[in-house]
Amino acid sequence: MIYLDHAATTKISDVALETYMETARRFFGNTESLHDTGTDAACLLDMCRKKWAELLAVPKEGLIFTSGGTESNQLAIETALLHTTKKKIVVSPLEHASIWQKLAQLKKRGYTVCVFPVSRAGEIDFAALEELLTDETALLIVQHVNSETGAVQDAERVQRLAEKKKILLHMDLVQSFGKADFRPNGVTSFSISSHKIYGPKGTGLLYMDPSRIWQKEMPDVHHENGYRAGTIDLPAISAFTAAACAIMEKYPAEFARIDAFKKELVQKLAPQIKILSKENASPYILGMILPHALGEEALLYFSKNGLQISTSSACTLRDTMPSRALLAMGYTKEEIERVIRFSFGASNHMQQIEPIRQILTSFLAKGSERG
């Protein structure tokens, strides 16, 4: 089996799994308990937060452990809007489903949502974006790396623009942490997910700029600086932290390895396959349009032949509507039905390229016979 769906989830790494089990055995106390067992757990939680602060070059006071990228995104938006009376939100069309779910709820509460355009390659139209950022804008939301195409936004420019306009900025780093350069310099909040970086599922991170005084959504909450109610999952947080340290330590070499793998694979693809993004897209994601077959047909065929892929974001597979991101990039509904996505990670290596090519070529030949 060749796994090409790392953008959906990753297998927990040995170091993360070992860390989880060791923490569960030794640090089982409630971090809010005042006895020694609770104090030991609280000290480990603080060590994890400090390590994340070092990795991200941000104050640890701004770091909140959550249940994953979805909660981080939605909590960031809700917290930011409690900070202002303005009712206009500006967002890219490429965002994750968790963003659109929250925005749909906010529309019912009287908020206006404005979507700025992107290019055919999924890159921000900065002139159009700047026009939308008015004095009435409460929040700007931008995904750093798109999960369907791998399009990478200019995070530095986005942050400079938000600072210039004095607008709160949330960025989704779920597909970019440990896989793309990001330096927080003007961002108000950002989100990270554990299971995208070989950590356990059900854990994530939210950064909220601690230089601002944030109103909390619920009163009298003590966990995670008042942002989240409920006992924290320390084994998962500890394993998530171990996974983050590992991916950042390997980042330059692994980025180069995956980049070489993707470039070699693209050279082997049939010329009639259309690539969805530019060469400067994330090397970890490859979105393609097949010439004469539905993406779902390809997925089933590949699965039977030992190749595991996706047709879109795993979080939108139950949504019958065509991809909002790809529509915004100018693709037709018919083209979107023919999209497949390969996403790469630790388990992929050069020896897999020829089997991938053979399976894809075989599928396209069967499609030609049908067509």
Q: Which residues are catalytic?
A: 315
Q: Are 143 and 277 in contact (CB under 8 A)?
A: no
Q: How far apart are the first and last CA of the chain?
A: 29
Beta strand 274-275 with 307-308: parallel, antiparallel or unpaired? Answer: unpaired
Q: Are 310 and 343 in contact (CB under 8 A)?
A: yes
Residue 49 burial (CB count, 10 A): 21
115-120: long-range contacts (C-beta < 8 A, 24 or more apart)? Answer: 115/90, 115/91, 115/328, 116/90, 116/91, 116/92, 117/93, 117/328, 118/92, 118/93, 118/94, 118/151, 118/328, 118/329, 119/329, 120/329, 120/330
Phi, psi of 256 (to 5 degrees): -65, -40
Polymer length in residues for the chain: 371
- Rounded Cα distance between 310 and 298, Å, is 9
Q: Are 123 and 115 in contact (CB under 8 A)?
A: no
Q: Which residue(s) pair with 114 in the sheet?
A: 90
